[in-house]
Amino acid sequence: MSRAEHDETHTVPHLLSIPARAQIRRQPVETSRLLLVPIEISDGDELWDAVEGSRWHLERWLPWVPFNGTREASVRYAEACVADWDGGRAVRFAIRDRQSRDLLGVVGLDSCVHLHRSCELGYWLRRDATGKGLMTEAANASVEFAFSRMAMHRIRCAAATDNFPSLRVIQRLGFRFEGIARQAELVQSRWLDHAVFAKLSQDE
């Protein structure tokens, strides 16, 4: 088969598109109460303060929290976020209050797989930012960003079967239940079963 024939018969698959981080920094994702801004290295200090101030609230569900034990670890995480965004591996936003610009938490589209146009949604909020609907607002905007700006096809989201606040967020986002991943994570010496959900671009 000639090169021309080959090109005609094999269409190039449609891959993910990752918007430039600098562009989204200039024009963050806006919701009524929040700004979602790509995490920068300079966010390291605020990330540390947010985690340190809510450690007991976060460490029950998030296995990385004990490893985030110094301010430097938060800076390294911020550096990894920058490298992951630029490398097309993950898109993680600092969730900021629209008025005060305070950092309230993180929402991320992790484990981006370009070939299948899929990713995993993950999130956390500072304890004092919970109970106001802010994560539902931030996660909704991130899902919309993934489908409309990144050509995402499938977004997976999993939460421990007894993490009821997170399960309620996922339910409000309209994700569909797919099954239980048994003992998916070891957190604080406890194996967590995960309820697995997903949303496809064509879902309502």
Q: How far is the CB of 5 from ligand COA (least distance, A)?
A: 49
If we measure between CA atoms, which residue out of 127, 117, 135, 129 comes closest to residue 171? 135
Among 104, 106, 169, 173, binds ligand COA (CB under 6 A): 169
Asked if 93 touches ligand COA (CB under 6 A), the answer is: no
Asked if 58 touches ligand COA (CB under 6 A), the answer is: yes
Among 130, 140, 161, 201, binds ligand COA (CB under 6 A): 130
* DSSP-based three-state secondary structure for 56: helix
Cα-Cα-Cα-Cα dihedral sign, residues 38, 43, 48, 54: negative
Distances (CA, A) of 192 to 18, 24, 85, 202: 32, 35, 28, 30
Asked if 53 touches ligand COA (CB under 6 A), the answer is: no
Please answer whether residues 48 and 74 qualify as being in contact, where contact means their C-beta atoms are separated by less than 8 angstroms: yes
In the complex with ligand COA, the residue whose CB is nearer, 133 or 174, is 133
Asked if 140 touches ligand COA (CB under 6 A), the answer is: no
Interface residue list for ligand COA (CB under 6 A): 57-58, 61-62, 123-125, 130-136, 159, 163, 165-166, 168-169
